[in-house]
Amino acid sequence: MNIDVSVAILINSKNQVLLAKRPPLKSWEGWWEFPGGKMEKDETSIDALHREIYEEIGVRVTKFEKWVTRKYSYENNDITLNFFKVNEWEGEVTPKERQELVWTYIRNSNISPILPANSFVEKALDLPKYYAITNLSETSKEVFFNQLQKKIHDGLSLIQVREKNISPNELKIFSKEIINICKPRHVKVIVNYDLNLAREIKADGVHLRSSDLLRIKKIPKNLIVSASCHTQEDIKIAEKLKINFLVLSAVKKTLSHPATKPIGWNKFKELVNKVNIPIYALGGLGANDYEIAIENGAIGVASQRLIWK
């Protein structure tokens, strides 16, 4: 049976999320989940969001954002979860179905057990919509830094420094210049593959190539670690290593790899929905592709060219 569900991640002023404990006599009794429920006939996911949240916790949603769509299969059902981030509502949160409610920080929460399909949120909620990758080979430094300043002003908060055509010393200088701009504005900077450079310049993280996944035994501590993947096997290795998030490519044809056959959205969705690790879509994509990306299970878009336009 195909079941469509709307799920609300209520976020309060302390950046805590609301979890509900499934009451007695319901399936998965005693497990914690985010509020929400099944879409009724002829309902949209947004209709179901408003109705279910009012019925379950007595509030009217006033400000929300469509987030990731994920698909799961269990108990002979194919379930589509439509996640929404809810930042504002009217009324007082009240248990209407004998359920226990708790506000908690999503990271390092001691609330358990959480429904398997909801555990994905813990890993993905704090990640931004866009993962911007530098591309100095196709522009000047002056133009790039003007673009960077504008994009940060517009809300960009995660950047990867990836430059293959400059010397190691030039790369270090360029990376430091980016960090000097980004750090005071709380923008995370990740360095492509060079762990030593990332540590030396105090970057926020390191991005591993798919080939790196085969040779490392564990990921470095105290750094954000992302990785590039192209196959299901890459993703499985990355998940075992507990990589923070992945980039899966190429969804469409790209200028940098014109001979590479793109996987397309259907294959992307198939791969993404088999794992619980957050994944960005990459390959011929830009900010305008965000909606289709989240509909296919991505948490956002990674981009080297179109993101800077």
Q: What is the pLDDT of residue 82?
A: 97
**Dihedral angle sign, alpha carbons of residues 145, 149, 154, 157:** positive
Can you tell me the distance from the alpha carbon of 244 to that of 221, in angstroms, rounded to the nearest whole number? 11
Q: Which two tokens stand for residue 281?
A: 């879509």
CA dist 109 and 194 (Å) reads 32
- The domain 2-118 belongs to what CATH superfamily? Nucleoside Triphosphate Pyrophosphohydrolase (3.90.79.10)
204 close to 224: Cβ distance less than 8 angstroms: yes
- 257 band by pLDDT with thresholds 50, 70 and 90: low
**By mean pLDDT, which of 96-110, 121-135, 156-170, 284-298 is the weakest?**
96-110
Residue ranges of domains in the chain: 2-118, 130-308
Query: Is residue 27 pLDDT above 90, yes or no?
Result: no
Q: Which of 81-85, 156-160, 253-257, 274-278 has the lowest mean pLDDT?
A: 253-257
DSSP per residue, 233-299:
HHHHHHHHHT-SEEEE--SS--SS-TTSPP-HHHHHHHHHTT-SS-EEE-SS--GGGHHHHHHTT-S
- Overall fold of domain 130-308: TIM Barrel (3.20.20)
* Helix pair angle (141-153, 168-182), 10° resolution: 30
Q: What single-letter DSSP state applies at residue 40?
A: P
Q: How does pLDDT run across 226-250, given as a tens digit for each residue?
A: 999 999 999 999 999 999 999 999 9
pLDDT digit string (tens) for 56-74? 999 999 999 999 999 988 7
> In the structure, what pLDDT confidence band is assigned to residue 158 with cuts at 50, 70 and 90?
very high
**Cα 99 to Cα 22: distance, rounded to the nearest angstrom:** 6
In terms of Cβ atoms closer than 10 Å to its own Cβ (0-12, 13-18, 19+), residue 304 is: buried
